[in-house]
Structure 1
């Protein structure tokens, strides 16, 4: 998949990678609320976690979607950051940021990966972001 099809684009494994995303909620009509009132407030979150996992091969995704249920990649994360460990920063409202310093991506093979962000509030955890990225 070419990097222009990836929301997050391509990142060189030789440099640093800064994940920075502004999270917005939907308006009553279901569209993205681009006003300042639409920024998600993470104050109630006990944790926000970013994980990067290898992307499942295309044949597996097609097979999973044609089967009952869907099987996501069960590979362990190659990178992670979280609010609880201090490796991820939340600037309220709406901004989630993690910095992976230069050299931290060198051990990761080039290819496509899935970046996911999940939020825990109380006893519930929900995934709020799932986008591909290419490490080149």
Structure 2
């Protein structure tokens, strides 16, 4: 996966480029606060408000996935641009993109059964990855 600027994004700034590169190196979803702290620790001069603004633009452009925790906190991850779902470790946040026709078929079946049209969906499967599992 390229770490350069993403197609379809707004003005490319140094801060935006650093944030995109950090997201590309990340294996799991990360909070805006964590991304901000990591950027600052890496010597990037950036404000937390700027991190939020860039992330929102990337989400709106479809370049970054966002997941909302039950607490309301949002987590972000740069993902592929094709439709997919996530398998997420609840301990370390390692994330694997998954696809499958069964989920798509089930979604359309449920929607049809209840008379819904123009349906979209997201699916996050939470578990414990092999590295975090007790031996």
TM-score range, shorter chain: under 0.3
More helix by share: 2
More strand by share: 1
Q: Give TM-score, length-normalised by structure 2.
A: 0.23
The higher radius of gyration belongs to: 2
Structure showing greater relative contact order (alpha-carbon pairs closer than 8 Å, 6 or more residues apart): 1
Q: Give TM-score, length-normalised by structure 1.
A: 0.22
